[in-house]
Every structure is written in structure tokens, then in C-alpha cells.
Amino acid sequence: MKVANTDEIKRSNDLEPMVGKIVEILEESTDVKTFRISTLDDKKPFSPLPGQLGMFSLPMVGEAMFSVTNQGENYIDMAIKKTGELTDALHDIEVGQEIGIRGPYGNGFPLDYLKGKDIVFIAGGIGLAPVRSLIMHCIKNRADYGKLTIIYGARSVDDLCFKDDLFNNWPKVENCQVYVTIDRPQEGWDGHVGFVPDYIKEIAPNPQIAIICGPPVMIKFSLPALSGLGFAGDDVITTLELRMKCGIGKCGRCNIGHKYVCLDGPVFTLTQLNEMPNEY
């Protein structure tokens, strides 16, 4: 890696966010909301690749990393689960709120590698947020990808995110199958009941690539299910989450061995993960 050589001295810092504003808020589930973010002059803050990240902040409270789950002409969307100080405060803000935003960060999904292939997307809970950015990309560029299979699970109906996509939009997409499951039976739910790893075995998808993201236990039991179906290490692609502060490989927070999740990740193949120390 080369060291920069520039005569122009800038005070500017990549850690300084730009000011954006919230133009829309969608309630996804009991504890997840999607925030639509534009710049103050109604432009897109930045154009991430599917799987890339953004640092979202209320400077008075804090700053945290989220996947950009979707994007449009003049906005990016982030789906945020309420888990602590900043995310609690975010759940209280209203449309029109000005916020800090910086990015895009991370590598994103390997689009060239995925082109032309059949893909199965497996997600649990808020894990659908990063996976969704790729699903949306595949749908927008439908001809570039093969069959799309989406397997998604959450604890209960109330915990399902992106219901409009799951039940209305995605099933209508050409050559796209959507499977949704909840952990326990619930009144009014006539869909599938059971955990994601078992559902994978039941569906026994046969495509070439699996994209998987969810809570650690779901990943832990889904990986054997996938290898049982014949998926190899390079066919399984996942995104990792570690504590992050800077997002640009400097603060030291998110290393696994010599790799930084914010810079070299968050997207890794199973083959890559197996070569890394198990510190995540």
C-alpha cells in the first residue's frame, strides 16, 4: 500500500460526516424502523454498492455503523433495530430531523462473481437489512442474475422486517421464490413455523450461491445445513458485524487478524472466514 503524497494540506477529516436529513420513516417491526436519508438539498448522500455501510449519527448522542439496505435516485435507506443509546434516540426522531452521515464503507458483495448465478438469500431478524441491498440490486438488474430464492425467519410476525417486500413485492418478481418462517406458532399466521436452519433443509435449495446473514446461532446451524446440500466454501457468502468507531481501518476496533471488517469486509466468503482467526 502506498502512502499518500499531497502538497495540499487539508484540515478535512474523513471522520467528519456531512449533514443529511430524514425524509421518511417506515415502521418495519416492533423494534426496527427504516430511515430514508437525503442531503439537505435533496440529493443522495453517496452511492453505495450492495452490502456497503454508512455511519449514521446524532452527534449529541453518538454514531454507529449500519448497512445501506436500499437506495433510490436521491436517498439511501437504513433499517435500524433499537438496541441501545443511539438507536433508542434514533427511534424517537421524526421526519425532517437533520443527522450526520458518512460513507460508503466496506467492500460490498462481489457482484462480478455473482453475475449469472442462481442465488439463495438466507436471513434472520435484522440480518435481512444487508442482504436486502443485494436482493434489491438483483431485482433492478433482473436479467443479470439467475433464480432468486429468499429464506427469511424472525421470532414472531411482529418481528418480521420489510413485510411489504416479503409478501407483496418480491413474490411478484420473475423467477423469485420467497419463504418466510417464524419461530413459534401464532394466531393468524398460516405460514411456515420453525427455525431457519431446519427450513433450509426442508426447502433444500439447489442454487450456486448462498448469501447468509443473521444472529450467530442461526449462522452456526445453517452452515452445516448448507454444506449438507453441497455448498462449498466459496459458494457461501456472509457479512460480519464487529464493534466499529471509524469505519476506515484506522481506529483499530474491528480487526480479525490483519483484516479490518470495516475496510476488507464486512462481506466475506466462508473460505475466507475459515482462514481467519476465530475472533468474531
Ligand X SMILES: Cc1cc2nc3c(=O)[nH]c(=O)nc-3n(C[C@H](O)[C@H](O)[C@H](O)COP(=O)(O)OP(=O)(O)OC[C@H]3O[C@@H](n4cnc5c(N)ncnc54)[C@H](O)[C@@H]3O)c2cc1C
List residues binding another protein (CB under 8 A).
1-4, 6, 9-19, 58-60, 62-63, 83-84, 94, 96-100, 216, 241-243, 245-246, 248-253, 255-258, 263, 277, 279-280
When binding is defined by CB under 6 A, the residue of 100, 194, 207, 249 that contacts ligand FES is 249
Least Cβ distance, residue 265 to ligand FES (angstroms): 9
Least Cβ distance, residue 231 to another protein (angstroms): 25
Residue 116, contacted partner among another protein, ligand FES, ligand X, none, CB below 5-8 A by kind: none
**Cβ-count burial 157-184 (b if 16+ within 10 Å, e if not):** eebbbbeebbeeebeebeebebbbbbee
Of the pair 66, 152, the CB lying nearest ligand FES is at 66
Q: Give yes or no for residue 211 binding ligand FES (CB under 6 A).
A: no
Q: Give yes or no for residue 56 binding ligand FES (CB under 6 A).
A: no
Pairing of strands 255-256, 259-260: antiparallel
Contact 125, 79 (CB under 8 A): no
Residue 79, contacted partner among another protein, ligand X, ligand FES, none, CB below 5-8 A by kind: ligand X
> How many binding residues for ligand FES (CB under 6 A)?
12
Of the pair 119, 246, the CB lying nearest ligand FES is at 246
Task: Give the list of residues 6+ apart from residue 65 with CB closer than 8 angstroms, or none.
Answer: 53, 54, 55, 56, 105, 244, 247, 262
Task: Give me the DSSP letters along 93-131.
Answer: --TT-EEEEEEEES----HHHHTT--EEEEEEGGGHHHH
When binding is defined by CB under 6 A, the residue of 15, 26, 39, 62 that contacts ligand X is 62
Q: Give yes or no for residue 86 binding ligand X (CB under 6 A).
A: yes
Task: Give me the DSSP letters along 222-280.
Answer: HHHHHHHTT--GGGEEEE-----SSSSS-S-TTEETTEETTTT-SEEEHHHHHHS-S--
CA distance 182 to 102: 35
When binding is defined by CB under 6 A, the residue of 14, 30, 42, 84 that contacts ligand X is 84
Residue 143, contacted partner among ligand FES, another protein, ligand X, none, CB below 5-8 A by kind: none
Q: Which amino acid is at 24?
A: E
Q: Give yes or no for residue 66 binding ligand X (CB under 6 A).
A: yes
Report the interface residues with ligand FES, using CB under 6 A.
Answer: 244-247, 249-254, 260, 262
